[in-house]
Amino acid sequence: MSSFSSIIHFFLLSLPLLSISCLSLSQPPNTKPNPFILPIKKDPSTNLFYTSVGIGTPRKDFNLAIDLAGENLWYDCDTHYNSSSYIPIECGSKKCPDVACIGCNGPFKPGCTNNTCAANTINTLANFIFGGGLGQDFIFISQQKVSGLLSSCIDTDGFPSFTGNDSPLNGLPKITKGIIGLARSNLSLPTQLALKNELPPKFSLCLPSSNKQGFTNLLVGSIGKDPFQELYKFVQTTPLIVNPVSTGAVSVQGVPSIEYFIDVKAIKIDGKVVNLKPSLLSIDNKGNGGTKISTMSPFTELQRSVYKPFIRDFLKKASDRKLKKVESVAPFEACFESTNIENSLPRIDLVLQGGVQWSIYGNNLMVNVKKNVACLGFVDGGTEPRMSFAKASIVIGGHQLEDNLLVFDLNSSKLSFSSSLLVHNASCS
Q: Which chain residues interact with ligand NAG by CB under 6 A?
A: 3-5, 8, 82, 84, 97, 103-105, 107-109, 112-114, 186, 200, 411-412, 424-425
CB-nearer residue toward ligand NAG: 155 or 301: 155
Shortest separation between residue 115's beta carbon and ligand NAG, angstroms: 8
Nearer to ligand NAG, 120 or 303 (CB): 120
As measured in angstroms, the least distance from the Cβ of 7 to ligand NAG is 7
Of 119 and 262, the one with the shorter C-beta distance to ligand NAG is: 119
Q: How far is the CB of 6 from ligand NAG (least distance, A)?
A: 9
Q: Long-range pairs for 23-28 at CB < 8 Å and ≥24 separation?
A: 27/197, 27/198
For ligand NAG, give the closer residue by CB, 102 or 315: 102
Residue 4 or 128 having the CB closest to ligand NAG? 4
Closest approach of ligand NAG to the CB of residue 85, in Å: 9
Measured from the CB atom, is 317 or 347 closer to ligand NAG? 347
Nearest distance in Å: CB 92, ligand NAG: 15
Nearer to ligand NAG, 40 or 199 (CB): 199
- Of 196 and 265, the one with the shorter C-beta distance to ligand NAG is 196
Question: Whole-number minimum distance, CB 73 to ligand NAG, in Å?
Answer: 16
- Give min distance, CB of 198 to ligand NAG, in A: 8
Instruction: Give the per-residue SS3 of the chain.
Output: CHHHHHHHHHHHHHHHHCCHHHHCCCCCCCCCCCCEEEEEEEECCCCEEEEEEEECCCCEEEEEEEECCCCCEEEECCCCCCCCCCEECECCCCCCCCCCEECCCCCCECCECCCEEEEEECCCCCCCCEEEEEEEEEEEECCEEEEEEEEEEECCCCCCCCCHHHCCCCCCCCCCCEEEECCCCCCCHHHHHHHHHCCCCEEEEEECCCHHHCCEEEEECCCCCCCCHHHHHHCEEEEEECCCCCCCCCCCCCCCCCCCEECEEEEEECCEECCCCHHHHCECCCCCECEEECCCCCCEEECHHHHHHHHHHHHHHHHHCCCCEECCCCCCCCEEECCCCHHHCCCEEEEECCCCEEEECHHHCEEEEECCEEEECEEECCCCCCCCCCCCCEEECHHHHECCEEEEECCCCEEEECCCHHHHCCCCC
- Minimum distance of ligand NAG from residue 5's CB (angstroms): 4
In angstroms, give the least distance from the CB of 267 to ligand NAG.
Answer: 25
Pick the closer one to ligand NAG by CB: 97 or 158: 97
